[in-house]
Amino acid sequence: MFAALSGSEIQGLAQRAVEKRFAADEVLFREGEECAGIFLIVQGTVKIFRTSAGGREVMLSIESAPASVAELPLFDGGPYPASVRAVEPVVALFVDKRDFQQVCRQYPDVALKVLAVVGRRLRQLVGLVEAMTFGSVTQRLARLLLDASKMAGAEVFELPVTHQELASRLGTVREVVSRNLARFRAGGLIRIQGRQVEIVDRGGLEQEAEAQS
């Protein structure tokens, strides 16, 4: 995000940044709170999620360092649109929104890069709506695994989420996700070792993703 800045410009921004540390499961901020600034994730992984009126969490994204969160409200003046929780111990740099807006006005390339991040997150949200709306849970889970493989650029990849969080993303319950993963494994489509997944039969998994409900 700061590639367009010189060393002295980065130093000026760094002088305004405050280091914050969060333990695993600690919340960085909650949806609806007034946006105070942007968090730059230097170390660790965070989960972006929304909570329903009934208390059910829906995961929107997982972000691992280097990454940023809370970009959108910097520009629209609204509150944080979602909550962010540390998946593991996190080190973040917090920059007050007024300081960050000043940097964006002075260096338009930074603002463009922030918009690219916002655009990517919007695409993820559109994909999430599709995943929770169209097709059976089996289809949606197969598509999710194929997408994860594509993002990793390999047949072997690590799922950054638990079965419960997968269920949240797919709009179902953990037992259904576990049952379908077990079926994919028994059918020789995938291998699972902890959170590491290997796609063994890509064609078969693609058929599961495209099968009619």
Cβ neighbour number for residue 48 with a 10 Å cutoff: 21
Between CA 201 and CA 8 the distance in angstroms is 51
**Would you state the pLDDT for residue 129?**
67
Domain ranges of the chain: 7-132, 135-210
Residue 165: both structure tokens together? 């969080």
Helix (H/G/I), strand (E/B), else coil: 145? helix
At the second CATH level, the architecture of 7-132 is: Sandwich (2.60)
The pTM (predicted TM-score) of the whole model is 0.63
CATH number (2.60.120.10, 3.40.50.300, 3.40.366.10, 1.10.10.10) of 135-210 reads 1.10.10.10
> Which pLDDT value is given to residue 213?
44
Classify residue 107 as exposed, middle or buried by CB count within 10 Å of its CB (0-12, 13-18, 19+): middle
Question: Once rounded to an integer, what is the mean pLDDT over residues 9-17?
Answer: 84
